[in-house]
Structure 1
Amino acid sequence: QDALRNVEKHFREECQIFQKVKDLKTVYSEFATIEMIFPGKALKVYTAAYQTMQNISEEDLELFQNYLYPPDWSSSLNLVRPNSKKDQQTEHDEEDKDLDIIKEKN
């Protein structure tokens, strides 16, 4: 009977080891599948984007560029350019005020 118990115990241990190996195989297989799916889907998206870009005509590009950067953009908004005379004059006026304050203190 002891021999039978030992055989039964050994058989259970071997079954547990086998089940662990089988579980590991399943986990690693699922992991590998998931890791392969992501680049596959990304490749599909990039392929579709590439094909869409190839179908854009030169006329469409020009229209889009004109939409982003209209020819009269700066004149229509009356923008002041940096370092313009107006900006420089304002800086000089502020410097003069600072000097006047210093002179008054002395």
Structure 2
Amino acid sequence: MRKLMLALGAVSLALPAAMTLPTEKAEARKHHRYKEWRGRDGRTYCRKSNGTTGLILGGAGGALLGRAVDTDGDRTTGTLLGAAAGALVGKAVDSKRTCR
């Protein structure tokens, strides 16, 4: 009975998400986020992430990984070094250009 209830709960959560159909306006908005456009001055512009999300998530993940790797003492050093390295890597990954 428990498995049946879990399966029904999973289906009830997944079904509404699968039933939504993208509208033409929503598709245009989605593709506009990562497209290039020409400005009034004739130059080509591209939307680019500033890397904040990658910085935060990379720092948190790096801190957890650094804490797990550093097993000696109070593990502060591993946590801080992991957070710094993770933040740098996360920012670099997140701030890549999304269009050519």
Q: In terms of Rg, which structure is larger?
A: 1
TM-score range, shorter chain: under 0.3
Higher helix proportion: 1
- Greater relative contact order (Cα 8 A, min sep 6): structure 1 or 2? 2
Higher strand share goes to which structure?
2
